[in-house]
Structure 1
């Protein structure tokens, strides 16, 4: 595969990307002579430090493994385990694949939030030329696994306990100019110590932020999960914060009712069938919250006039009135 996955960049920026992979070449020779070779097979130990133990999951572009940090183990750490993410063999063959993985690292590393997955580092294994991320090893259910166990949806108290940290994490990302790009139940985990939003592999910075960061070329590669993708994305528009809001609204509706708001169809299909006209408030969702969620589910971006912070506010617990406090006594 020789086709690029990234939007065209000035030659200087491209040279800098490949400079990071040159272990021995003199700096003055890199731009003129360095031609990155195709990555080899994934070795058993990456970076001379991380021993892969087993596969945890495979996504559209990459795979995540449980790995043992041999350095931490050497110094007596009783829990030397990390998650290790690398691009799949197909994507690793692209000449700019490592830059693509670095983009995910650069975006996620900007976020310091209790409900966003923690990344430890980005490295390139010199022998195989395979780039990889190390991140916290999470244990728990993803939301798609939870939904398979709860086909009737979640009661309000439980739903609120998931919605608030999820929306808080998304709002934090947007405030720092980071767009997720692939929000869906399988990218949210209920870990032992709280919810985590993860997998910013399709994420991008907002316009003007991190201008030198490689960007995924959408004309050559389309990776949206159709039933969570906003209509404007399916029509070829750039990723935006409102698109993330649509995706998270679909997830929240699914948690409240046990079913996708539009029969698991894409927004384009659902709009053609006018499914938004028959959309009803889930029975377990408070009526006061429905207007905000309904607005976030609008097909047209102009009508989706609510941001992640406002959606969070709608789901947050409300202080009890004086009458409610009196009844409580």
Structure 2
């Protein structure tokens, strides 16, 4: 890749940030007003290392387009790269990737005709400051969707950066596949030359190792971090920026929503194998996040279990005391009531299964396991049973008989009275 002409000796930098007009001095001339007799050239949109992009008008189809005009006099390697870019971009058909309409050569000027996106690029947008986390999450999901489509066709972009993300009215689009690479194809990059923009290179690119789709995922992670902070994660000179990522991991801001924070940490992992695929990134960001409850500590669980056991034991002791009180015993067997008769004014005797004199605030209830529970809600005593006229007459007769037998020893209590 040729750099700026300085005097009479061109240089070949190892890294290129594509800042300013880094084009060969002998190629800095303007294109014709009409290219290929069809495309009317308008204003300049952007400038790269080996080409410039103009707004143009397609006179045949009557629509606005973008036309990328390459520099003249390129070497053989550069001509091969241009042909590959045309082939790669023509094979991609996705709403989040700038579409290729036409290509050709006008005299000695190769050109590509592409979809015109009205709006600024992401680098220009970030000059105004960082973006909200919700907007970054949506941006990440859409760009990951586009990358997943590109990677499915075994293509690696290799130069993702904010300037190559266009912000159209319908959302972001990825552009500039100038140094994109097809996996398992012949490399056209010069030996020892690291391609890409230094601030967004993946660690394996800096180390000169083979790269794959994981390099694009890493670059997208750095772009998203820059969107959140408004600053490059690895600033400095190209060499400083490129080597910094080998010494530390990118810093993910605190306080981000859980899905975005965890995804960014994985996207910017040092080892490519630890990074998610672009399709996984999209899925993780699109799935609704359900917060998980923190597990109860083991000590706390043991304390809760012990407290529950003590409460159960206390209830059992209380129940045993209530059931074994002397006044809770069943009536004496020898004091059987006269059938169908009740002494007037005496309370009705409770059933043998219930203690005769429980506190007014105590109720015993059976449980399905055969136990009993104790509550302390006030319970009204049952009303006295009605006394019939026949029973009253019988009582008078019995009373008379008792008086006739033992006048001197006092009256004898009726056997129907229960309780002490």
TM-score (norm 1): 0.72
Partner of 1:159: 136
Residues 256 and 316 of structure 1: CA distance in aligned 2, closer, same or farther (over 3 Å): farther
1:100–1:215 Cα contact (<8 Å) kept: no
Larger Rg: 2
Partner of 1:81: 64
Q: State which of 11, 20, 43 in structure 1 corresponds to 2:32.
A: 43
Mapped to 2, the partners of 1:101 and 1:238 lie a distance apart of 22
Q: Which string of whole-angstrom CA distances, capped at 9 and with x for unpartnered residues, describes residues 132-182 of structure 1?
A: 1000111112111111112xx222221122111111001111011111110
- 1:311 Cα offset (Å): 1.7
Q: How does 1:16-35 map to 2 (within 5 A)?
A: none
Off by >4 Å, runs of 4+ in structure 1: none
Q: State which of 122, 128, 132 in structure 2 corresponds to 1:143.
A: 122
Partner of 1:32: none
Residues 201 and 239 of structure 1: CA distance in aligned 2, closer, same or farther (over 3 Å): farther
- 1:286 Cα offset (Å): 1.1
Residues 45 and 190 of structure 1: CA distance in aligned 2, closer, same or farther (over 3 Å): same
Is 1:109 aligned with 2:90? yes
Mapped to 1, the partners of 2:139 and 2:155 lie a distance apart of 21
Partner of 2:176: 199
2:217–2:275 Cα contact (<8 Å) kept: no
Q: State which of 277, 285, 289 in structure 2 corresponds to 1:315.
A: 285
Is 1:301 aligned with 2:272? yes
Q: What number of residue pairs does the alignment pair up?
A: 266
1:230–1:246 Cα contact (<8 Å) kept: yes
SS class of match (2:131): coil
Mapped to 1, the partners of 2:120 and 2:138 lie a distance apart of 15
Q: Can you give the 5+ residue segments of structure 1 that lack an aligned partner in the other structure? A: 3-37, 322-329
- 1:185 Cα offset (Å): 0.5
Mapped to 2, the partners of 1:163 and 1:257 lie a distance apart of 15
Q: Which string of whole-angstrom CA distances, capped at 9 and with x for unpartnered residues, describes residues 215-270 of structure 1?
A: 42242754311110012112222331111111011011111222233346534224
- 1:284 Cα offset (Å): 5.5
Partner of 1:53: 42
Is 1:129 aligned with 2:112? no
Mapped to 2, the partners of 1:239 and 1:51 lie a distance apart of 39
- 1:309 Cα offset (Å): 1.3
Partner of 1:21: none
Mapped to 1, the partners of 2:131 and 2:254 lie a distance apart of 10
SS class of match (2:258): coil
Q: Which string of whole-angstrom CA distances, capped at 9 and with x for unpartnered residues, describes residues 71-128 of structure 1?
A: 23xxxx3xx2210012234xx4313534322211211121111111011011111xx2
Q: State which of 246, 251, 260 in structure 2 corresponds to 1:271.
A: 246
Q: How does 1:149-188 map to 2 (within 5 A)?
A: 149-150=128-129, 153-188=130-165
TM-score (norm 2): 0.58
1:156–1:284 Cα contact (<8 Å) kept: no
Residues 41 and 257 of structure 1: CA distance in aligned 2, closer, same or farther (over 3 Å): closer
Q: Which string of whole-angstrom CA distances, capped at 9 and with x for unpartnered residues, describes residues 17-59 of structure 1?
A: xxxxxxxxxxxxxxxxxxxxx9x97333221211212211001
Relative contact order higher in (CA < 8 Å, ≥ 6 apart): 1
